[in-house]
Amino acid sequence: MSEPEGARGAYEKLTGELRETAVLESAGSILAWDQETGMPARGSELRAAQVATLSTLVHERRTRPEVEQWLAECEADPELTADEAIAANLRWLRHDHDRDTKLPTSLVREIARTNALALQAWRNAREASDFSAFAPWLEKVFALSRSKAECLRGGEGGELYDVLMEEYEPGAEARSLERVFGELRSDLAPLIAEIGRAERSDAGAGARVSIPVPRQMELSRRVAERLGFDFDAGRLDVSTHPFCEGVGPGDTRLTTRFSEDLFFDALSSTMHEAGHGLYEQGLPKEEHFGQPLAEAASLGIHESQSRLWENFVGRSRPFWSWALPLLQESAGEAAGSLTVESVFRAVNRVRPSLIRVESDEATYNLHIMLRFDLERALLAGDFAVADLPGEWNERMRQDLGVEVPDDRRGCLQDIHWSMGAVGYFPTYTLGNLYAAQLWEAVRADNPGLDEEIGRGEFGALLGWLRDRIHRHGRRFTAAQLCERATGSPLSAAPFVNYLKGKYGPIYGI
Ligand code: ZN
């Protein structure tokens, strides 16, 4: 049999090439996962060299002249582009290819190397709560991010921040986010203040349970499995900063973290990452590995999946009426006095706090807005890296009314900047907004959802998400996906209504 010719042939060569590049990239995913879960501290220099070499190889492959030729040949063929799925693939490939070819390989290599080393420097600096040890690395990261954004922007105008954000949330613009966030803040601030003044403002302060870590791990696995996470195609490990790595078809890795007396936090982390993992496992990777069709629509959509399981499911009464007996079976005496109501209140306690990942659903977005403003200002050079702790602490005081005691619990708490992920934070708040809107829609479509969740049955929910979100990969933009799944464009209203509906009765406001 002869090989197909013309545009079909070019498309096959293109997708074949992409698959091989994706295989190479998946080796990078394993390295990234290992760096957080198993690599010894002294391995960081070698790891930096490994990821720099691998990133260079990937970048060289992506920017091979043949890729441009095949792509152009496919784009010019009306028969090929009449296929909607192929057209979507080609559109994103062009988008990504144009970005890739604007970056010199030397810069890609330098960024990969610096990020790997900065990550280790951040880890040490955070441990010691010593911002001055991380500051030179942060300066490098922002300088390289600026160079990258300038290369990508080329001769066109526009904000450098938008160019970086495009990698995580295609189509998002800082100016419009500023408006959305401003509106959200004006709804959240009075709600949080009202909760603070409420007579029952200490609701949920009591429920704590101490469980040995190995049992927490077992319980976390049981819950993740029950939600639908396939452990034959994934695993769950421990890391300082929980994450999910979608390595490739048949391999999705989750991490979580445990502390003996903070089981609810650990379970939240696990459910969050399992939400990401369910999305990764639901993407059509077997069929389209290496193609945009097998990738997430955006990080905002990715985060909507994690937040939906973590918060909308994991902080609900129906969930706990199923999960509490499991917890009691595992924890024995320690959890004997808990009731569904006491756990529900404990996991929905609203209190301004220092750490983003431990914050409640209401104050969480204030943490994001702070990071969005600060990284945008840093990138624009509005203040120096050395002034970051001061700026951070002042904003925490203004926005959340808390005093930051040290940089470990202040500007050193997040991993993102050390990895060069500038422009990433806004996707978290977008994720919350998307999640609320999806939740409203899935409940409208499934009136029996609460009862199902109360029985520990999550199939209908997962099926709905698979159908509306997962299986489409990047076929639609985040905005289109939202509109198709829910019938309306993204709005903050479902999120605000959800919070008011939940906290009103808890706090008697
Ligand atoms: Zn997440």
Tens of pLDDT, residues 70-94: 999 999 999 999 999 999 999 999 9
**How many A from CA of 179 to the centre of ligand 1?**
23
Using DSSP's 3-state secondary structure scheme, residue 244 falls into: strand
> Got the DSSP string for 206-236?
S------HHHHHHHHHHHHHHHT--GGGEEE
The pLDDT-based confidence of 21 (bands split at 50, 70, 90) is very high
Residue 451, pLDDT > 60, answer yes
Residue 255, pLDDT > 70, answer yes
**How many A from CA of 273 to the centre of ligand 1?**
6
Dihedral of alpha carbons 310, 315, 318, 324, sign: positive
**How many A from CA of 503 to the centre of ligand 1?**
23
**How many A from CA of 186 to the centre of ligand 1?**
25
**How many A from CA of 76 to the centre of ligand 1?**
38
All residues at 6 or more sequence positions from 225 whose CB lies less than 8 Å from its CB, including other chains = 231
Q: Could you give the residue numbers annotated as active site?
A: 273
Whether the CB-CB separation of 163 and 145 falls below 8 Å is answered with no
Whole-angstrom Cα distance, residue 58 to residue 238? 28
Whole-angstrom Cα distance, residue 25 to residue 20? 9
Could you tell me how many helices (H) and strands (E) the chain has, helices first? Answer: 22, 3
Whether the CB-CB separation of 276 and 238 falls below 8 Å is answered with no
Whether the CB-CB separation of 254 and 229 falls below 8 Å is answered with yes
Query: Which range scores top for mean pLDDT: 185-199, 346-360, 380-394?
Result: 380-394
Tens of pLDDT, residues 114-146: 998 999 899 999 999 999 999 999 999 999 999
Whole-angstrom Cα distance, residue 88 to residue 475? 5
Tens of pLDDT, residues 216-240: 999 999 999 999 999 999 999 999 8
> How many residues comprise the chain?
509
Whether the CB-CB separation of 228 and 254 falls below 8 Å is answered with no
Whether the CB-CB separation of 255 and 273 falls below 8 Å is answered with yes
Instruction: Name the residue type at position 390.
Output: G
Q: Report the pLDDT value the prediction gives residue 206, as an integer from 0 to 100.
A: 61
Arithmetic mean of pLDDT over the chain: 94
**How many A from CA of 413 to the centre of ligand 1?**
15
Whole-angstrom Cα distance, residue 371 to residue 379? 12
CA dihedral 243, 220, 349, 357 (to 10 degrees): -10
**How many A from CA of 272 to the centre of ligand 1?**
6
Tens of pLDDT, residues 268-296: 999 999 999 999 999 999 999 999 999 99
Residue 131: its H or E element: helix 131-153
The 251-256 sheet, strands edge to edge = 234-238, 251-256, 244-248
In a 10 Å sphere around its CB, with 0-12 CB exposed, 13-18 middle and 19+ buried, how is residue 84 labelled?
A: exposed
Whole-angstrom Cα distance, residue 134 to residue 130? 7
Average pLDDT (411-433) is 96
Q: Report the pLDDT value the prediction gives residue 262, as an integer from 0 to 100.
A: 81
**How many A from CA of 7 to the centre of ligand 1?**
39
Whether the CB-CB separation of 159 and 426 falls below 8 Å is answered with no
**How many A from CA of 316 to the centre of ligand 1?**
19
DSSP state of 39: -
| Angle at CA of residue 159, ends 158 and 163, nearest 5° | 95
**How many A from CA of 427 to the centre of ligand 1?**
9
Q: Tell me the sheet residues that pair with 234.
A: 252
- Report the half-sphere exposure of 160 (CA within 13 A, side-chain side): 18
Q: Report the pLDDT value the prediction gives residue 394, as an integer from 0 to 100.
A: 98
**How many A from CA of 332 to the centre of ligand 1?**
31
Tokens of 116: 């790997």
Average pLDDT (475-487) is 96
Average pLDDT (475-488) is 96
**How many A from CA of 258 to the centre of ligand 1?**
17
Residue 4, pLDDT > 80, answer no
Residue whose pair of structure tokens reads 């296929």 in the numeric block: 83
Q: Report the pLDDT value the prediction gives residue 457, as an integer from 0 to 100.
A: 98
**How many A from CA of 341 to the centre of ligand 1?**
27
Distances (CA, A) of 12 to 2, 101, 175, 286: 13, 21, 40, 16
pTM over 0.85? The answer is yes
**How many A from CA of 93 to the centre of ligand 1?**
25
Whole-angstrom Cα distance, residue 189 to residue 435? 20
> Got the DSSP string for 451-488?
HHHHTT--HHHHHHHHHHTGGGTTSS-HHHHHHHHHSS
**How many A from CA of 201 to the centre of ligand 1?**
28
Query: Which range scores top for mean pLDDT: 156-165, 356-365, 456-465?
Result: 456-465
Tens of pLDDT, residues 168-219: 999 999 999 999 999 999 999 999 999 989 877 666 656 678 889 999 999 9
Tokens of 127: 């441990």
Q: Could you give the percent of the chain with pLDDT greater than 90?
A: 88
Whole-angstrom Cα distance, residue 469 to residue 438? 10
